[in-house]
């Protein structure tokens, strides 16, 4: 008996678990079982021989009244209607689920379209901005060209005026020379001598000035190289150059690394020197001639192990 109760309780728990996990399936099974039981009852009733409305009488006992029970039969047509209604209800639910699913798909597509339209609007705005920037740039270029043309015209007019003034002076000078032609030859020789002396003096002054400028430029370049070497040496991490005392020269142009003239024999050491040159800010050079030399010519730097 205890074993029977155990199996009954286990079956009952299994049914409860299935109902909780799959309520719709359980309901559908119960409905079908109910329909089958109902049809089975109708089949039994149909074997009895009585009309659609019939009374069943049963004698309880002699001292009590007769108890009347009235049963009404159900036709197969009504049963079909109920089954059809049930199927129709189930179809409506299925269609409702399909409509919800379709609505979700439509919402997803609508969101995707909205995102796409937003992207298209962003692209259109970007194109419009690019077009506006292009037009603004063209307008600036046009204004710059017009300004350059105006300055060039002013320059030509100024040169023309200078030329006319020079021609006027030449004519006046020529006229004066013709008037003074009768002066003595000595005055002409003295004047020529004074002019030669002045020219020679001017040439000597110009040569001296150029020599001074060249000397100053060489000094500025030497200071530039010295300071540049000090800065590179401060930034140079020589951990990979231990035991190396001979290094290649570094070639730079306009403050930028060009190449090494050779190798120290250690790739990492060479690379550390290259990185130090590249990562070093070159000194500022104020001398114009020296600055042109630094910008246009290669400079060689020599480094030693300190």
Contact assessment for residue 293 and residue 217, using Cβ atoms and an 8 Å cutoff:
yes
User: String of b and e for 56-70 (b: at least 16 CB within 10 Å)?
Assistant: eeeeeeeeeeeeeee
Residues present in the chain in total: 306
Question: How far apart are the C-alpha atoms of 284 and 301, rounded to whole Å?
Answer: 17
Compute the Cα dihedral for 90, 93, 99, 101 and give only its sign: negative
Q: Which residues contact 298 (CB under 8 A, 6 or more apart)?
A: 251, 252, 253, 258
Residuewise pLDDT in 10s, the chain (306 residues): 555 566 667 666 776 676 676 666 666 677 767 777 777 676 676 555 444 443 334 343 444 444 444 444 556 777 777 778 877 788 877 887 887 788 788 778 878 888 888 888 888 888 888 888 888 888 888 898 888 888 888 888 888 888 888 888 888 888 888 887 878 788 778 888 888 888 888 888 888 888 888 888 888 888 888 888 888 888 888 888 888 888 898 898 888 888 989 888 889 988 988 898 898 888 888 888 888 888 888 888 887 766
- Looking at residue 56, its pLDDT comes to 36
- Please, which residues bridge with residue 252 across strands? 257, 299
């Amino acid at each position: 008996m205890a074993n029977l109760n155990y199996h009954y309780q286990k079956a009952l728990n299994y049914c409860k678990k299935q109902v909780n996990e799959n309520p719709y399936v359980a309901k559908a099974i119960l409905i079908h079982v109910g329909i089958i039981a109902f049809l089975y009852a109708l089949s039994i009733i149909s074997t009895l021989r009585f009309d659609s409305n019939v009374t069943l009488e049963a004698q309880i006992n002699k001292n009590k009244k007769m108890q009347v029970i009235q049963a009404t039969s159900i036709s197969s047509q009504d049963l079909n209607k109920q089954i059809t209604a049930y199927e129709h209800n189930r179809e409506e639910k299925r269609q409702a689920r399909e409509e919800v699913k379709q609505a979700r798909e439509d919402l997803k597509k609508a969101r995707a379209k909205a995102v796409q339209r937003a992207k298209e609007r962003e692209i259109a705005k970007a194109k419009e901005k690019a077009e506006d920037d292009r037009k603004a740039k063209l307008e600036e270029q046009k204004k710059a060209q017009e300004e350059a043309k105006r300055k060039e015209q002013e320059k030509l007019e100024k040169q023309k005026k200078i030329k006319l003034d020079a021609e006027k002076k030449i004519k006046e000078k020529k006229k004066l020379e013709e008037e003074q032609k009768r002066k003595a030859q000595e005055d002409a020789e003295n004047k020529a001598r004074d002019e030669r002396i002045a020219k020679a003096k001017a040439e000597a002054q110009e040569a001296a000035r150029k020599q001074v400028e060249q000397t100053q430029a060489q000094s500025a370049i030497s200071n530039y190289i010295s300071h540049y070497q000090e800065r590179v040496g401060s930034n140079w991490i020589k951990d990979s150059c231990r035991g190396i005392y001979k290094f290649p020269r570094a070639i730079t142009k306009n403050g930028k690394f060009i190449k090494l003239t050779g190798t120290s024999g250690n790739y990492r050491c060479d690379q550390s020197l290259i990185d130090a040159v590249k990562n070093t800010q070159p000194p500022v050079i104020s001398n114009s001639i020296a600055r042109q030399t630094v910008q246009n010519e290669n400079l060689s730097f020599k480094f030693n192990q300190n």
